[in-house]
Amino acid sequence: MNVNVMNVDYSTKIPNNVNLAEDRQVLKALEGWHPGYIDWWNDMGPDGFQQSLVYLRTAYSVDPRGWAKFDYVKMPDYRWGILLAPQEENRTIPFGENYGQPAWQEVPGEHRATLRRLIVIQGDTEPASVEQQRHLGKTAPSLYDLRNLFQVNVEEGRHLWAMVYLLQKYFGRDGREEADELLRRRSGDADSPRMLGAFNEATPDWLSFFMFTYFTDRDGKMQLHSLAQSGFDPLSRTCRFMLTEEAHHMFVGETGITRVVQRTCDAMREAGIDDPNDVAKVRALGVIDLPTIQKKLNLHYSLSLDLFGSEVSTNAANAFNAGIKGRYRETQIEDDHRLQNDTYPVLKLVNGEIKRVDEPALTALNMRLRDDYTQDCAKGLLRWNKVISTSGYDYKLTLPNVAFHRAIGEFRDVHATPDGLLIDDATWAKRKGEWLPSTSDGDFIASLMTPVTEAGEFAPWISAPKVGIDNKPGDFEYVKIET
């Protein structure tokens, strides 16, 4: 059947545009999984606020011209649904050995294990981020930010549903088992951690949250773009719709950091501070100094780089060859989309030096995606640096070298400075506090994290946003905490 539904069916318990009402077996599997999901949300979702009314957007359509409506919702009543972008007529596989063949509507047997693994990894990150952020509601700097946190959280929950649907519909019994496992693993748990490194790290404060939504959600964007190219059409359509939601998450990160930088610069100017490196003086103003923002940036960027896997990877080559995972904007690239004879420059460690080495383009796909990611990340830095220079300060936030603070890939066994200078263990141990947030930096930031719950008011370490959500005025009550 050709499912091409713009509007979402809200008459069933699980809103969807995949005609679940007539897909009894999958409906039954999803209904069986639903209570476990709600238990997970109650145990591991936002701590508190579950009875508050939150001004949230909910997707009612998959039409890019208008797909969401805003209303007050209690989070446990949010309508998590299964939404796929409309099916493209006659879509073909846009890369790999099967280039030009009709896209698959069912899982090809020989690629089943690879596909399942990628879907499970993608699915695992979604609830992980909710777990990492669950305590942040208690220290939100405003109702506006509180609402954005919860919007991100409910949508990550929906993204979990999106992957669970694919597992349950297309992978039979092992898909159902994997769906259950997604609710069992826990971020940071010693025995049963989430699958990828960055999703087991703490998100201790709101600056980390903004960095996470800027840098780690942007890995999500890159990975979803690559999977949106997939020859497995249901995965492609699922990821395409997820990307629509994802944009807001990165907006939260980018504008969040902009507002922190803005407030710091304003406070320094008002106090007549000329040197942004005078950390003690700046902190005495109750704002986060730029060097500490740089350290947080170093941490989150390097953790997020690890999410791209090894620079040289046969897994990535196999997934591309098979037509399962493409490149960023694959269909817009002008080449043969097979890459059999191409090379790509990869940064490697050669005789103790960081060098560019040409590798077969197929095995270098993780590196290529990571390069695209770095370019995308750089845009935010331009904006933040503009705020700093417009305020009259000579200070630049920068992305650290890719060899800095890595746990995966070519540089995992060496230490490097943010400038990419290789250093020995002793120098690293002595100097890492200059580059990564120390315990005392964390304590200082934590000391600023007092909640602000008056509509239209903001904590003193962050400036107000330029515009409201859904064009609401500045004093709009985005969360009615007591109902």
Residues engaged in binding ligand BYC (CB under 6 A): 118, 121-122, 125-126, 129, 156, 196-197, 216-217, 219-220, 223, 306-310, 313, 315-316, 325, 366, 408
Point out the residue whose Cβ comes nearest to ligand BYC.
Answer: 309
| CB of 462 closer than 8 Å to CB of 263 | yes
Q: Which is nearer to ligand BYC, 53 or 408 (CB)?
A: 408
On the CB side of 81, how many CA atoms lie within 13 Å of its CA? 28
Q: How far is the CB of 328 from ligand BYC (least distance, A)?
A: 12
Tokens of 48: 């508190």
CA atoms within 13 A on the CB side of 280: 0
Angle 314-322/112-132 helices, nearest 10 degrees? 120
Query: Considering the complex, what minimum distance in angstroms separates the CB of residue 210 from ligand BYC?
Result: 13
d(CA 322, CA 231): 8
- The least distance separating ligand BYC from the CB of residue 16, rounded to whole angstroms, comes to 21
Q: Mapping DSSP to helix (H, G, I), strand (E, B) and coil, where does residue 228 land?
A: helix
Query: Which C-beta is closer to ligand BYC: that of 18 or that of 307?
Result: 307
Nearer to ligand BYC, 28 or 412 (CB): 412
Q: Which is nearer to ligand BYC, 61 or 315 (CB)?
A: 315
Please, how many CA atoms are within 13 Å of residue 131, restricted to the half-sphere of its CB?
A: 24
Tokens of 37: 């999901």
Shortest gap between Cβ of 216 and ligand BYC (angstroms)?
5
By the 8 A CB rule, do 391 and 265 touch? yes
User: From CA 75, how far away is CA 52, in angstroms rounded?
Assistant: 8
Helix, strand, coil tally for the chain in percent (to 5): 50, 10, 40
CA distances from 95 to 227, 370, 381, 386 (A): 12, 19, 33, 39
The nearest distance, CB 154 to ligand BYC, in angstroms, is: 12
- Min dist CB 319 to ligand BYC, Å, is 7
Nearest to 168 by CA among 177, 160, 159, 157: 177
φ and ψ of 7, to 5 deg: -95, 150
Instruction: Note the helical H segments in 133-171.
Output: 143-170
Task: Between 314 and 389, name the residue whose CB sits nearer to ligand BYC.
Answer: 314
Distance CA 409, CA 304 (A): 13
Choice between 84 and 267, CB closer to ligand BYC: 84
The smaller minimum CB distance to ligand BYC, of residues 44 and 121, is found at 121
Please, what is the minimum distance in Å from the beta carbon of residue 426 to ligand BYC?
Answer: 27
- For the bound state, the minimum distance from the C-beta of residue 323 to ligand BYC, rounded and expressed in Å, comes to 14
CB of 463 to ligand BYC, least distance (A): 25
| Cα–Cα distances in angstroms (integers) from residue 45 to residues 48, 103, 146, 214, 218, in the given order | 9, 36, 14, 21, 22
**378 close to 399: Cβ distance less than 8 angstroms:** yes
Place of tokens 């992980």: 128
Task: Choose between 307 and 354: whose C-beta lies nearer to ligand BYC.
Answer: 307
Least distance from C-beta 66 to ligand BYC, angstroms?
25
Neighbours of 293 (CB within 10 A): 24
Question: Toward ligand BYC, which CB reaches closer, 19 or 114?
Answer: 114
Pick 153 or 262: Cβ nearer ligand BYC: 153
